[in-house]
Structure 1
Amino acid sequence: MSTIAFAGLGSMGLPMAKNLLAAGHRVRGIDLNPTALASLSEAGAESARDATDAARGADVLILMVVNAAQAEQVLFDDGALQALEEGGIVCLMATCPPAAVERIAERVGTAGRRFVDAPVSGGTAGAIAGTLTIMAACGRATFEAVQPVFEGMGQRIFHVGERAGQGATVKAVNQLLCGVHIAVVAEAFALAAKVGVELDVLLEIMGGSAASSWMLKDRGPRMLQAEPEVSSAVDIFVKDLGIVLEAGRDAKAALPIAAVAHQLFLATSGRGDGRADDSQVIRSYHALNGTTKNG
């Protein structure tokens, strides 16, 4: 059993923290939202006055925050890093640019603590079910030390490298593929809609052909709905594909298809649909082509 300080009790972080409690760990929450903190306390978490109090005596500090700036706020401005035990482990599990992860890791190491770059994939559903994919980059000994904690949150746990930033890069590759897949499904639907093909028929055909993909089967049906339930918002891919392009720039790797997909999500957000389900990137194609969801 580990004592874990958990920062970031949002739609993914809260169920992740609850799963750690269910796995037998001691958990202290860090969040500005009192409702989230109360929900975690009701599940059995220990109370803490602030980030410093939560991190004091903890074995592991998990950061499931929105971005690198929030991670730095908790670690360096709010005092959580200094409160963490010497040799304690900081796990950054949010999606962040690789270069930012490297900078944070260096500061954590200088302070005498260990760092794990461990972004996740699987969304809110995976966080609730405890089936997340975790992509960890750190020294092998540190990975083995934190693996029991990861097993409380995820099902597919990988050691992807020894250096901070490698986990973030693997997550960027994942988001590149996801974002491009969604955008290209929308593009294919847009062509069919332009000539009046019924998109529900097209979806049935493509779903059983070599052109099929997980994203086609998952997002395709939602593209045919006017206001689908939000699984992942358009603005998530505005952010994540922005991180992809930043990672490509830093690595001097050309990513032209990712750049086009990013522009389509950005255009969708710019028209006021940033909080819509990410399948609604198809609205940008309809706007370009003068079509509707059924042609």
Structure 2
Amino acid sequence: MPAESPVTPVTPVTAVLGLGAMGLPMATRLAGAFPVRAFDVFEERRALAEQGGATPAGSPAEAARGADVVVIAVRDQEQLECCLFGGGPVEHGAAESLREGAVVVVTSTVGVDGVQDVAARLAERGVQLVDAPVSGGSVRAGTGDLLIMVGADEAALAAGRAVLERLGSTLHVVGPRVGDGQIMKTVNQLLCGIHTAAAAESLALAHALGIDLDRAVDVLGQGAAASFMLADRGPRMVQQYEVEEDGTGGPELRSRLDIIRKDMNLVVSLAKKAGVATSVAAAADQLYQLAMSQGLAAEDDSALITLLAPRKGR
């Protein structure tokens, strides 16, 4: 008979790698229930995690040493590999110190091929992986109200379940394979990317025609045009026109434009492989690419509206 997988404790020692817009609130949320060690390449982000109850670590390897569950919340495939195996600004990846039987929970949107490659490399070390991309934004990450889309076998899911249930109010196991979660998240991002672009176009038109944007967001949000992305991004799009000449003001940075562009690129690539026409998603992808070429990559993705209806003086 095969050996049984180690049972993860009810209060698992947890590491969080990546303390950006999503990783930081997830780390502080987890620190309210479990012992958490947290790492980010930026010292100020580690300091914020410490204020939220986590223990800062100087490297992914230090954070993951002795951990039962390692949660990864990074921007893309390159950062995922750096966190686990080292490279770039990371000298000691988590794989150096992960114990056999530990589980890695990947909450990032990195694509099917990327997460499957990482899972295979970790399996050689006796480490399981839960493919668990999340949706809901930074505020919901801090309150444990995320939607989590899981691709994992039963043993890996059982090992990471306590952590996942602390982070999410809605946990959907969409399939038993690593990669199934990424597929579902990619489909999710197709709609999110299109809805954000559509919100920017509609509000840019209202702005150009002299309609008060606060009123436009309110009216659109009460009818058939309403969507989560309009309700979330709409007010931030309005705030884009409150930026002062010195660059102050405007909305809080919650989701960088280059992140949604990265996700839309995954959408277009996966659809091409599947042989499915996604012409509307491709058009939105081009709009985000145009915004990046205009220097908006590091801005909140609500800045897309300023590409279509520029701020005064721009």
Does the pair score TM above 0.5?
yes
* Matching of residues 68-147 of structure 1 within 5 Å: 68-77=77-86, 78-147=92-161
Match of 1:30 among 39, 50, 69: 39
| Rounded Cα–Cα distance in structure 2 between residues aligned with 1:97 and 1:184 | 24
Gaps of 5+ in 1: none
What amino acid maps onto 1:62 in structure 2? V
Over 3 Å counting, the alpha-carbon distance change for 1:39 and 1:183 in structure 2 is closer
Over 3 Å counting, the alpha-carbon distance change for 1:212 and 1:53 in structure 2 is closer
What amino acid maps onto 1:247 in structure 2? L
**Correspondence 1:21 to 2:24:** no
Gaps of 5+ in 2: 1-10, 87-91, 244-249
- The RMSD of aligned alpha carbons is 2.5
SS of residue in 2 equivalent to 1:272: coil
**Correspondence 1:184 to 2:207:** no
| Rounded Cα–Cα distance in structure 1 between residues aligned with 2:47 and 2:205 | 49
Over 3 Å counting, the alpha-carbon distance change for 1:257 and 1:112 in structure 2 is same
| Rounded Cα–Cα distance in structure 1 between residues aligned with 2:189 and 2:158 | 26
Quote the residue 1:208 is aligned against: 222
What amino acid maps onto 2:24 in structure 1? L
| Rounded Cα–Cα distance in structure 2 between residues aligned with 1:200 and 1:29 | 39
Over 3 Å counting, the alpha-carbon distance change for 1:242 and 1:162 in structure 2 is same
Quote the residue 1:284 is aligned against: 307
* Offset, 1:13: 1.1
More helix by share: 1
* Offset, 1:146: 1.2
Percent sequence identity is 40
| Rounded Cα–Cα distance in structure 1 between residues aligned with 2:31 and 2:221 | 40
Match of 1:260 among 276, 280, 283: 283
Match of 2:251 among 216, 225, 229: 229
SS of residue in 1 equivalent to 2:309: helix
What amino acid maps onto 2:38 in structure 1? G
Quote the residue 1:269 is aligned against: 292
Contact 2:39/2:56 (8 A) holds in 1: no
SS of residue in 1 equivalent to 2:295: helix
Deviates more, 1:273-282 or 1:262-271: 273-282
* Offset, 1:195: 5.7
Contact 2:103/2:159 (8 A) holds in 1: no
Over 3 Å counting, the alpha-carbon distance change for 1:38 and 1:220 in structure 2 is closer
Quote the residue 1:52 is aligned against: 61
| Rounded Cα–Cα distance in structure 2 between residues aligned with 1:60 and 1:167 | 18
| Rounded Cα–Cα distance in structure 2 between residues aligned with 1:269 and 1:222 | 18
What amino acid maps onto 1:65 in structure 2? V
Normalised to the residue count of structure 1, the TM-score between the two structures is 0.86
Over 3 Å counting, the alpha-carbon distance change for 1:263 and 1:45 in structure 2 is same
Contact 2:47/2:56 (8 A) holds in 1: no
Residue correspondences, number: 288
| Rounded Cα–Cα distance in structure 2 between residues aligned with 1:32 and 1:224 | 33
What amino acid maps onto 2:136 in structure 1? G
What amino acid maps onto 1:280 in structure 2? A
Normalised to the residue count of structure 2, the TM-score between the two structures is 0.82
